[in-house]
Structure 1
Amino acid sequence: MRIKGTDFENLVEPFFREIFEKMGFIVIQVRNQNSGNQDGFDISVLFFDDNDIERELFIECKYYTKSQLNWADIFNKQVQLECSNHNPCAFILLSPLRDLSNIDHNLQAKIVKKFKYPVDFWTPDKDIEKLFALKEDLYKKVFDTKKCDIKINESLEISRYKAIINLLIQKRDALEYANIISIDESNKAPQENSNLKTTLDLKLNSILDKDDENRILYHRTRANYKVYLENLVDLNPELRNNILNWEGNLRLKAKRLTLRFNIDDAYTPQQFFHDFFHEAENELLTFYKDFELKGDKEKLLHGLVFELAAQCPLDWRSNGES
Structure 2
Amino acid sequence: MPITGEDFEKLVAPFFKKLFQDMGFLVIQVRKQTAGTQNGFDISVLFLDENELEREFFIECKYYASAKLEWSEIFSKQVQLDSSNHDATAFIALSPLKNLSNIDHNIQAKQTKAFKFPVDFWTPDKDVEKMFALDKKLYQKIYDEPCLLVLDEEKELQRLKVLVNLLISKKDLLRHANLIKIPDATSPINGDEEMVTSLDIKLNAICKSDDQYRIIYHKARADYKVYLESLVDVHSELRTNILNWEENMRLKASRLTHNFKMDDSYTPQKFFSDFFNEAEKEILTFYGENELKGDKEKLLCGIVFELAAQCPLDWRKNGTD
* Pairwise CA distance, 1:32: 0.7
Partner of 1:100: 100
- Counterpart mapping for 1:40-119 below 5 A: 40-119=40-119
- Counterpart mapping for 1:1-322 below 5 A: 1-145=1-145, 147-322=146-321
Distance 1:46 1:262 in 2: 62
Secondary structure in 2 matching 1:16:
helix
User: In the alignment, residue 319 of structure 2 is paired with which amino acid?
Assistant: G
Quick check: 1:288–1:294 contact (8 Å CA) kept in 2?
yes
User: In the alignment, residue 160 of structure 2 is paired with which amino acid?
Assistant: Y
User: In the alignment, residue 11 of structure 2 is paired with which amino acid?
Assistant: L
Quick check: 1:261–1:319 contact (8 Å CA) kept in 2?
no
Distance 1:227 1:190 in 2: 8
* Pairwise CA distance, 1:186: 1.5
Distance 2:205 2:158 in 1: 50
Deviation readout 1:11-63 (Å, 9 max, x if unpaired): 00000000100111111100111111100000000011111111110000000
Secondary structure in 2 matching 1:92:
strand
Quick check: 1:189–1:227 contact (8 Å CA) kept in 2?
no
Distance 1:66 1:189 in 2: 54
* Pairwise CA distance, 1:188: 2.9
Distance 2:68 2:36 in 1: 22
Distance 2:243 2:19 in 1: 40
Gaps of 5+ in 2: none
Gaps of 5+ in 1: none
> Aligned pair count?
321
* Pairwise CA distance, 1:191: 4.9
Give the percent of matched residue pairs that are identical in Structure 1 and Structure 2. 61
Deviation readout 1:51-103 (Å, 9 max, x if unpaired): 11111100000000000000010011001111111110000000000000011
Secondary structure in 2 matching 1:233:
coil
Distance 1:192 1:16 in 2: 42
* Pairwise CA distance, 1:260: 2.1
